[in-house]
């Protein structure tokens, strides 16, 4: 079966939710721990699903959603079997308690919702990434990632994306320009200042890496 084309999400309702908050969970300016991803990807028909009311509540107030439902994301609700479930199921293995929901933020390289497979249509993703529309979002993300009081987790594949952004704008993400991936171990948790690099949660991330991440998170939150 052909993968659905990667594109900006067509849902007006979903795009409106992202106008006010280009992140999920806690406000990243206030959060202690950030998880940075590529793009906020949702099923193409998410706004027609019964669970969309839960998605709306989550995007409006991720902290309250986590505390109320004792799960950090609506993809973990009973009955949901679509894209994104594996990512958030693996994240749950970190065993972050809902009492810390105001300390955890999820933010992506793109500041608007998408659908489809970015990896399959990487050219389109890169066009979105370095577009004028996305520039202000990247500037804000750069400030967050340079805040040494925060601990930031990024998936392995984002290293190249940050390099591409830096090649197009030397003012942004300069700390990634000289990262040599050959000196890192994709199967481990790599420390680079206040940034930790690991396999994507949807990829073959090891239990050992998850244990190291959980230990680091617990130390920061307590």
The pLDDT of residue 94: 96
The pLDDT value recorded for residue 47 is: 92
In a domain, 112, yes or no: yes
145 falls within a domain: yes
Write down the pLDDT at residue 3: 56
Cα separation, 22 vs 112, whole angstroms: 7
In a domain, 68, yes or no: yes
Distance in angstroms (rounded) separating the CA atoms of residues 11 and 4: 15
Per-residue pLDDT, 2: 45
| Structural domain for 124, as ranges | 7-221
Q: What is the mean pLDDT of each run of 10 residues along the chain (222 residues)?
A: 78 95 96 96 91 96 97 92 87 96 98 92 95 97 96 95 95 90 94 94 92 96 88
The predicted structure's pLDDT at residue 160: 95
**Residue 80: inside a domain, yes or no?**
yes
Tell me whether residue 2 is in a domain. Answer: no
| Assigned domain for 125 exists | yes
Let me know if residue 171 belongs to a domain. yes
């Amino acid at each position: 079966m052909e993968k659905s084309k990667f594109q900006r999400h067509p849902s007006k309702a979903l795009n409106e939710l992202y106008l006010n908050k280009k992140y999920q969970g806690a406000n990243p300016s206030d959060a202690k721990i950030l998880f940075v991803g590529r793009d906020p990807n949702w099923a193409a028909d998410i706004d027609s699903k019964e669970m969309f009311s839960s998605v709306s509540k989550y995007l409006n107030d991720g902290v309250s959603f986590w505390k109320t439902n004792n799960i950090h994301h609506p993809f973990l609700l009973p009955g949901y079997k679509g894209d994104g479930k594996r990512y958030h199921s693996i994240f749950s293995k970190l065993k972050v308690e809902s009492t810390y929901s105001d300390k955890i933020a999820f933010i992506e390289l793109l500041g608007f919702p998408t659908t489809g497979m970015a990896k399959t249509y990487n050219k389109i993703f890169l066009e979105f990434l370095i577009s004028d529309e996305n520039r202000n979002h990247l500037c804000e993300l750069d400030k967050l990632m340079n805040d040494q009081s925060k601990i930031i987790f990024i998936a392995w594949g984002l290293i190249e994306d940050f390099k591409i952004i830096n090649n197009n704008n030397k003012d942004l993400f300069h700390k990634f320009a000289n990262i040599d991936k050959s000196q890192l171990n994709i199967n481990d948790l790599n420390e680079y200042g206040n940034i930790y690099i690991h396999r994507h949660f949807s990829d073959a991330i090891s239990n050992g890496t998850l244990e190291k991440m959980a230990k680091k998170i617990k130390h920061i939150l307590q």
